[in-house]
Chains A and B, each alone.
Chain A
Amino acid sequence: MAEASANSPAVLRGRHDFPEISGRIGSIVLSGRLPRHFWTAFLLCFLLVLLLLYSITYLIAVGVGGLGINMPVVWGTMISNFVWWIGIGHAGTLISAVLLLLRQPWRASINRFAEAMTLFAVAMAGLFPILHLGRPWFFYWLLPLPNVHMHWPQWRSPLVWDFAAIATYATVSLLFWYMGLLPDLAVLRDRARSRPAQLFYGILALGWRGSAYHWARYQVVYFLLAALATPLVVSVHSIVSLDFTFAITPGYHSTIFPPYFVAGALLSGFAMVLTIAIPLRWAFSVKDLITLRHMDNAAKLMIAAGMVVAYGYVSEAFFAWYSGEPYERTMMAQRALGPYAPLFWIMLSLNCGVLQLLWFRRIRRNMPLLFAIAVAINVGMWIERYIIVVTGPSRDYLPSDWGEQSLAWLDFGILFGSIGTFFALVFLFIRILPAITIFEVEELAEEEGKIR
């Protein structure tokens, strides 16, 4: 087990006992006594949910012309939002699956909400390709269903692979999350005092009773699901990047895209983990369960992923030049100096510049500063997705056809609406389900000898 030296703070702080751990985590949900500003913050998010519903209604009623897209740039914020949200989901799977396989003890207190974050981010991401369709009510044509046209999906199209990947990812994440929740739902069932809560958690817990026989099978299958989720998470963002690379559009057609997208996903995902975890541990006083060690490690992973992303930027620029293709070169020059130049340089200064602050331990351990950096990286990563999506088509092979897209209120309505909906779901999750995995924290406390 990890040594708690002066340099690396312990995974768990202080001494605990089992009723205390399950009671503290469970009471956040069961007592319903939430910090003062919880519902204020939820209300703000709820207003954004309404904004999202209004924007979607407007989009469906008026059509995609309501967005700022126009020929030749017909992929706009819907696709950038999609790639951004999917990326955010990936850190959750990485924390819950890869760190489980690597038996990293620091995973236990943050995996639950990281998985929840994955689910909600995937739920948000799934909206955008559908809204982007123009006639969203026909999205089911991507499925091999017998329908009135008696046609089949085009299996050779990355858009169909994308649909398969996202649907699989959402389903497997849900199964993995629910399986991890089962023992904790049983804890809540047994601790709940009100009849409705007992019924609610009791039905969801499926009668889990912690039998040694059950645990033996449970652990084997939980590990297997983690082992399945790991290649899945890499395949999902790689397939998302194939949506781009399969086109010959300048700036899209590049073999660096799959690893570059996966690294970008991890960067933005860990930034979002920190964006949620820092207020969470402060608001619910669980600083001894989610310790500085977690924050520090997440920040280190951010810089690791961020350096791969920086390599991706360099590689894109280098191969645009090395290809000798005038259109590739022009696109890259226009990206840095053309109409999208301000966004491009903001992106570089956030994702490559601000990120470097994380090399310093003092900054990684300074929570307000780390929070600010995480938010900045989230913004930077959104801009990155936007730059990738729009600069390519805006400088296509037909110079007479070059043009930019604008951003309409609807673009922002849907973006901020989805952010609000995501956080509203996170708030509801914290209210209804245990945000920290009770049984794994207890197991960890036992293994580390932190039991009184």
Chain B
Amino acid sequence: MSLYGLMAVFAGPEALIAAARGMRERGYRRMDAFSPFPMKELERILEIPKTRLPWAVLAGGIAGAALVYALIWYSVEIDYPINVGGRPLHSWPPFVIIAFEAGILGAAFAGFLGVLAANGLPRYHHPVFNAESFSYTRGGKFYLLIEAADPKYRKGVTRGQLTRLGAELVEEVEA
């Protein structure tokens, strides 16, 4: 079994942030942090790129609205044109209402499925789950993972650095 990385356990959010910043300054790039709730500072420290998902949501919304509007247009103009009380076949104001609802539906699906796809979920087997100490929130702990693939990674050195940054425990994680 190969080594995936080193998992360091911290007691609180401040300790995790300090450690993430410290490791970043020492030049580590392939890191990940795990916390029971979102922490804004981590995004800056880990230089997490801004997600492009809002564009997916916008595209989903436009696609939903356009598809449904096109379906309605096709049904009233081409497939089954029927004169109801002399109203124009393409009477757009009522059609916009349904297209609006479909747009919201498309955007919501794009957002939900998009965030799952971008995060690679569902994924039931991930190396971090191999760590004995890793329990997402049982003990209210905060975790920093340094991947073995990081160019700066040196077995003993990295472990020492993590311990000096206040890790309660440092554990090797099998891939």
Contacts and interface: CB of A to CB of B under 8 A. Distances in A.
A88 interface: no
Nearest to B45: A212
Contacts of B105: 167-168, 171-172
Given A164-B101, A168-B101, A225-B108, A212 B114 contact: no
Interface in A188-220: 189-191, 202-203, 206-220
Contact of A179 (B107, B115, B136): B115
Nearest to A189: B136
B57 A221 contact: yes
Contact of A209 (B75, B94, B102, B126): B126
Nearest to A16: B140
Contacts of B102: 164, 168
A156 interface: yes
Interface string A136-167: 00000000100000111011100011001101
Interface in B137-165: 137-140
Contacts of A213: 32, 46, 48, 119
Contacts of B116: 206
B136 A210 contact: yes
Contact of B137 (A22, A156, A165, A220): A22
B13 interface: yes
Interface size range on B against A: 35 or more
B33 interface: yes
Interface string B34-75: 111111001100101001011001000100000000011001
Interface of A is mostly: helix
A227 to B, nearest CB: 9
B111 A155 contact: no
Contact of A208 (B37, B71, B80, B136): B136
A235 B51 contact: no
A228 B104 contact: yes
B39 A221 contact: no
Contacts of A214: 119, 121
A175 interface: yes
Contact of A207 (B32, B46, B91, B126): B126
A160 B12 CA distance: 53
Nearest to B61: A228
B97 interface: yes
Contact of B111 (A183, A215, A225, A231): A225
Nearest to A172: B108
B122 A439 contact: no
Interface string A213-257: 111111111001100110110010001000000000000000000
Interface in B107-132: 107-109, 111-112, 114-116, 118-119, 121-126, 128-129
A213 to B, nearest CB: 6
Interface residues of A, number: 62
A121 B123 CA distance: 32
A216 B115 contact: no
Contact of B39 (A155, A179, A202, A215): A215
A440 interface: yes
B136 A186 contact: yes
B135 interface: yes
A443 B111 contact: no
Given A161-B98, A217-B115, A211 B33 contact: yes
Given A164-B101, A442-B36, A442-B37, 17 more contacts: A152-B75, A154-B84, A161-B97, A171-B109, A179-B115, A202-B124, A207-B123, A207-B125, A209-B136, A211-B119, A213-B119, A216-B48, A218-B119, A221-B111, A224-B107, A228-B61, A232-B104
Interface of B: 12-13, 32-39, 42-43, 46, 48, 51, 53-54, 57, 61, 71-72, 75-76, 79-80, 84, 87, 91, 94-95, 97-98, 100-102, 104-105, 107-109, 111-112, 114-116, 118-119, 121-126, 128-129, 135-140
17 contacts: A17-B140, A19-B140, A22-B138, A152-B76, A155-B76, A156-B87, A160-B98, A161-B101, A164-B102, A175-B108, A187-B36, A206-B124, A208-B121, A209-B126, A218-B38, A224-B107, A224-B111
